[in-house]
Amino acid sequence: MTFTLAIIGRPNVGKSTLFNRLVGKRLALVDDTPGVTRDLREGAARLGDLRFRVIDTAGLELVTDDSLQGRMRRLTERAIGMADACLFMIDARAGVTPSDEILADLLRRRDVPVILAANKAEGRAGEAGAVEAWALGLGEPLPLSAEHGEGMAELHARLAPLV
Ligand code: GDP
Ligand code: MG
């Protein structure tokens, strides 16, 4: 069985940027269940010597504000159900938002391992947000920059014991 990592987080935190970095051109649309390929993107990830399946919760950006939170919960629950571990991403520059708290709540109720990533943390801009993320109760925040590729060695160190 292939280890599956689900990237969880509210819209615009950088989930797809990390997904694309991990998957490169190895994007595989494996599941042809209607709805799955549209809302959950799946790919073959590579990080150093680690090989695993990664799921991106996509499609949240397309919905209206009032339907967003319910949809975000449902889609996130589905991704968690498919995952051996979750990477929960917040935007370190924005700090912790109410949507982040909702998702953190979902994750704390499950016994899936969670890596809490504080993204957009390049150039020290995310330091305050990364410290704030401790309050989510999901362990030590991992500062990342999905766009600039910073924090990938630390992400590898977190994933290696799980994969
Ligand atoms: P998603 O909605 O969570 O999938 O987020 P996206 O991957 O689409 O990224 C949302 C926006 O954040 C885009 O404009 C990205 O270029 C930007 N972004 C993603 N990662 C980083 C990062 O590490 N640093 C900065 N500064 N911006 C980022
Ligand atoms: Mg996305």
In the block, residue with structure tokens 């016994």: 111
Distance between Cα 86 and ligand 1 center (Å): 18
Q: pTM score, two decimals?
A: 0.91
Distance CA 69, CA 61 (A): 11
The pocket of ion ligand 2, defined by CB under 5 A, consists of 15-16, 58
Q: Which of residues 5 and 42 earns the better pLDDT score?
A: 5
Q: 21 CB less than 6 Å from ligand 1?
A: no
Residues with Cβ < 8 Å from 23, sequence gap 6 or more?
A: 43, 44, 45, 46, 54
Residues within the annotated binding site? 9-16, 56-60, 119-122
DSSP state of 150: B
Average the pLDDT over each of 2-6, 10-14, 87-91, 140-144 and give the range with the smallest value. 10-14
Distance between Cα 144 and ligand 1 center (Å): 11
Ligand in closest contact with the CA of 59:
2
What is the tens place of the pLDDT at every residue in 84-142?
999 999 999 999 999 999 999 999 999 999 999 999 999 888 889 889 999 999 999 99
Identify which of 50, 116, 110, 114 has the alpha carbon closest to the alpha carbon of residue 86: 114
DSSP lists the bridge partners of residue 54 as 5, 43
ipTM of this complex: 0.99
Distance CA 146, CA 123 (A): 13
